[in-house]
Amino acid sequence: MARERDALAGQNTALQRAKRELEKVHQGLRRDFEMLLAQYAGGEAGAAAAQQTATAQARLALSRQQREALSESLSKAFGEQERVSEELDAILTLRDRLLDELGEAKGERDRLSAEAAQSSQQLEANAERLRASAAQIAAINARLADADRSVADKSAELERSQGRMRELDTRLTAANTRVTALEGDVERLEREKGDAVSRLAEMERRLGEQLRSRDVQIERLENDLTLIRLGGDILFASGSVELRREGREALRAIAAELKKFPEHTISLEGHTDAVPLGEALRERFGSNWELSVARASEALRYLVSQGIDPRRLRAVGYGSQRPVGEDDARNRRIEILLLPPSERRVVTGALSATP
At 150-172, the pLDDT tens digits run 889 888 988 888 898 888 889 88
Whether pLDDT at 286 is above 70: yes
- Percent of the chain with pLDDT strictly greater than 70: 89
pLDDT of residue 27: 84
Most confident segment among 35-44, 193-202, 244-253, 344-353: 244-253
Whether pLDDT at 8 is above 60: yes
Mean pLDDT for 193-220 is 75
Whether pLDDT at 187 is above 70: yes
Whether pLDDT at 57 is above 80: no
Mean pLDDT for 191-195 is 66
Band of the pLDDT at 1, cuts 50, 70, 90? low
pLDDT of residue 268: 96
Straight-line distance from the first to the last Cα atom of the chain, in angstroms, rounded to the nearest whole number = 146
pLDDT of residue 40: 64
Q: How many CA atoms lie less than 13 Å away from 265 in the CB half-sphere?
A: 16
pLDDT of residue 193: 63
Q: What would the 3-class secondary structure string for the chain be?
A: CHHHHHHHHHHHHHHHHHHHHHHHHHHHHHHHHHHHHHHHHHCCCCHHHHHHHHHHHHHHHHHHHHHHHHHHHHHHHHHHHHHHHHHHHHHHHHHHHHHHHHHHHHHHHHHHHHHHHHHHHHHHHHHHHHHHHHHHHHHHHHHHHHHHHHHHHHHHHHHHHHHHHHHHHHHHHHHHHHHHHHHHHHHHHHHHHHHHHHHHHHHHHHHHHHCCCCCEEEEECHHHCEEEEEEHHHHECCCCCCECHHHHHHHHHHHHHHCCCCCCCEEEEEECCCCCCCHHHHHHHCCHHHHHHHHHHHHHHHHHHCCCCHHHEEEEEEECCCCCCCCHHHHCEEEEEECCHHHCCCCCCCCCCCC
pLDDT of residue 2: 67
Mean pLDDT of the residues in the chain = 82
pTM: 0.46
